[in-house]
Amino acid sequence: DAMVIQNPRYQVTQFGKPVTLSCSQTLNHNVMYWYQQKSSQAPKLLFHYYDKDFNNEADTPDNFQSRRPNTSFCFLDIRSPGLGDAAMYLCATNEGEIQPQHFGDGTRLSIL
């Protein structure tokens, strides 16, 4: 089945230790998104790619970086995680702007 896959489902890292979250898709969608979602809050858009064009939200901290080496894969790098970065990180894709977004299962990040 075509889908959006995020690895790992649960990630534990230490305060200040870099961590990378991954997302892959078999839908061949042009657009990929990274969201941060904290408990009982709306998803917060961090970045999105339209093909290789990278779009960074104005309020995304510099601590967060992203890479999209090809259509299928996208990575979220957190260079120096702080306690406030503990959250669910969601990857989503769609074919174009006015299309529903398809989400992966998310990675729940914990910071020790």
What is the contact surface with other proteins in residues (CB under 8 A)?
40-43, 45, 88, 90, 97-98, 100-106, 108
Smallest separation (angstroms) from other proteins to the CB of 71: 20
Query: What Rg, from alpha-carbon coordinates, does the chain have?
Result: 13
| Nearer CB in complex with other proteins: 37/63 | 37
- Between CA 99 and CA 107, with CA 101 as vertex, the angle to 5 degrees is 170
| Nearer CB in complex with other proteins: 79/94 | 94
Contact yes or no for 89/109 (Cβ under 8 A):
yes
Smallest separation (angstroms) from other proteins to the CB of 69: 23
| Nearer CB in complex with other proteins: 32/90 | 90
| Nearer CB in complex with other proteins: 79/86 | 86
Smallest separation (angstroms) from other proteins to the CB of 80: 26
Of 97, 89, 111, give the one whose Cα is nearest residue 44.
89
Residue 73: which residues within 8 A CB-CB, separation 6 or more? 22, 23, 24
Smallest separation (angstroms) from other proteins to the CB of 87: 12
Contact yes or no for 90/38 (Cβ under 8 A):
no
